[in-house]
Structures are given as C-alpha cells and as structure tokens.
Amino acid sequence: MLFIRGDVSEAKKINLIFYLCNKKDSKSIMDYSALAKSYNTLDYPYKLRETLKAFYKSDDYNHLTKYELIKTINKTLINNYEGEQVIKYKLAKEFIKKNYVAAFEVRAKNSRADFLVINGFTQSFEVKSKIDNLNRLGKQASAYGDVFEFNTVVTDPIHLDAVKGILPAHYGIWCFEGKKKIVYREAKFSPNLCSREQLCLFNKKELYFHFNQTDIELIVERSSKEEINANLKAALKKRYSARWTFVQSNWGRIFPIDVQFFFNTNIRPELIYS
C-alpha cells in the first residue's frame, strides 16, 4: 500500500504516483491505470491540469477549460485504458437504448455486482478486466447465482481459460475487444435461486411494501418462490428507475468514465463540467 505524507503538495503527489507506476514491468498498462486512479469527476481544474501535466510530461494544458481537461482525460482513458471503468461504460452503452432499468454496484450477500439490468428478468454482470485478479470470482459467482436469474462475467481474453474453470456452467461469459462485444457463452437461468437470500436484497421499506411485513422467515413461509422473485424484480426496478432514466436522458452529455458518478448523483452534467 502506498502512503504519501499529508504535507506533500497535490502536484508532487500526482507526480509520485506516476513515477512509481512507471517503475512497474508493464508500463503501458500501469500508466493508464495511474491516470484512472488519479482522476475524479469532482476535481478542480488545477488538479485536472496537474494530472495531465504529470501523465504526459507536458505543460500544454494551461489554456484548457475544466470541460476540455475532463474531455481530454476521458478520451485518453476510453481509447487506451483496459480497466473496470471502461468496461462498465461499454456495458451501460449496450443497454442505454433498450427497455431495461440498469444499476451499478448492486449488493448481493457480501459482494456487489458491477452492473445489473432488469426487465422481465434480472441479469448481473461482474467485470474482471485485464488488470484485475480473479481471487474473489468464485465467491462472487456463488452470491449472484443465489439472487439473480441470469449472470455473466465480462472479462479480457487473457483471463478466458481461468474464468471458464471457475464459473458454474450456467454463467455467461462476454469479452469486449475494442468496441466489439464477443459472447463466448450465453447465460442460462440460475438453478441456485434462494428466496431467503433474495429477500435480504430488500430494504425494510421495500419488504413492507411488497409483503406487508418485514420478517424474512415469515415471508419465506407464506410466499411462493415465484412471488418473491417477481417482487424482487419489481423492487429493484422501482429503486433504480429514476437514476437510470436520468443517465439515459443525459447520455450524450456525460463522458464515459463519469457514467457511474452521474448514475449515483443525478447532478446535471453542465453543473459538474463547467
């Protein structure tokens, strides 16, 4: 873990991050990874400018507005970076014009699905990018298979054989190569759905709205698996509908790396970018 003293200036911190990353074996990957970690949608222009100066080792960014600085960083990352944020953007783009409600980082047991879409079915997506490890994938796959009907891992070809060896047979496998989506295996309906685990995804207000009580054990006794599953889909759609509709309505004004930020906040893009 990297610790940087609190009295070190912001510019020196940024330069130190890039310097340490450049000492890694895989320079091209680590450079863009450092840029992604340094970037924050809410950064002030000074911080954005210093980030670009450190990354490109150039002073050519003094004349750029905040909007132009953010645009430059986003363009650099979307064209070169192979990490989670880029794949999440590609997933969102895949569903943005379809009749789905979607969400980022949806809790399931002790894990969080990177992306979830809901229409007639629930379908989770877990991202394992080129620069990710697979240490938690088995645990995550089990968690999502207990609560969501269809489940897919989106990975890089470098992990493909390992992912196939970890995932249950009902899991789908996707890869993105540039802008192209490749489906290596279609997801099948999960045979492991557990009503009790599904009920743990509801908050108390949602439980009461759908079942007129909040006692999970009583709900399991008195409700069918089909009813619980149907109510979960209804609850998730209601929970995330407004936030996803906001992203759909503002899609052309949101930069790729910032999609999850605007899903979470629903702040008008022009207020952030100006």
DSSP type of residue 58? -
> Residue 9 contacts by C-beta under 8 Å, 6 or more apart in sequence?
none
3-class secondary-structure state, position 38: helix
In the structure, what pLDDT confidence band is assigned to residue 15 with cuts at 50, 70 and 90?
Answer: low
Task: Render 192-204 in DSSP notation, one character per residue.
Answer: T--HHHHHTTS-H
3-class secondary-structure state, position 273: helix
From 217, 197, 207, select the one nearest 143 (Cα to Cα): 197
Task: State the pLDDT at residue 150.
Answer: 99
166: which 2 tokens?
């970890």
Asked if the model's pLDDT at residue 78 lies above 70, the reply is: yes
Mean pLDDT of all residues in 146-166: 98
Asked if the model's pLDDT at residue 155 lies above 90, the reply is: yes
Write out pLDDT tens, residues 202-258.
999 999 999 999 999 999 999 999 999 999 999 999 999 999 999 999 999 999 999
Write out pLDDT tens, residues 176-211.
998 899 999 999 999 999 999 999 999 999 999 999
Asked if the model's pLDDT at residue 29 lies above 70, the reply is: no
Amino acid 272 reads I
Asked if the model's pLDDT at residue 1 lies above 90, the reply is: no
Write out pLDDT tens, residues 84-137.
999 999 999 999 999 999 999 999 999 999 999 999 999 999 999 999 999 999
d(Cα 58, Cα 47) in Å, to the nearest integer?
A: 15
233: which 2 tokens?
């889909």
d(Cα 124, Cα 168) in Å, to the nearest integer?
A: 14
Task: State the pLDDT at residue 253.
Answer: 98
Task: State the pLDDT at residue 81.
Answer: 95
CA distance between the termini of the chain = 34
Asked if the model's pLDDT at residue 5 lies above 70, the reply is: no
Asked if the model's pLDDT at residue 267 lies above 50, the reply is: yes
Indicate the domain borders of the chain: 10-81, 86-252
Q: Residue holding tokens 């605007």?
A: 262
Q: pTM for the whole thing?
A: 0.89
d(Cα 110, Cα 107) in Å, to the nearest integer?
A: 7
Mean pLDDT of all residues in 42-67: 94
Task: State the pLDDT at residue 2.
Answer: 47
Amino acid 99 reads N
Task: Render 60-107 in DSSP notation, one character per residue.
Answer: TTTT--HHHHHHHHHHHHHHH--SHHHHHHHHHHHHTTSS-EEEEEEE
Q: Residue holding tokens 């009790």?
A: 196
Asked if the model's pLDDT at residue 24 lies above 50, the reply is: no
Task: State the pLDDT at residue 128.
Answer: 98
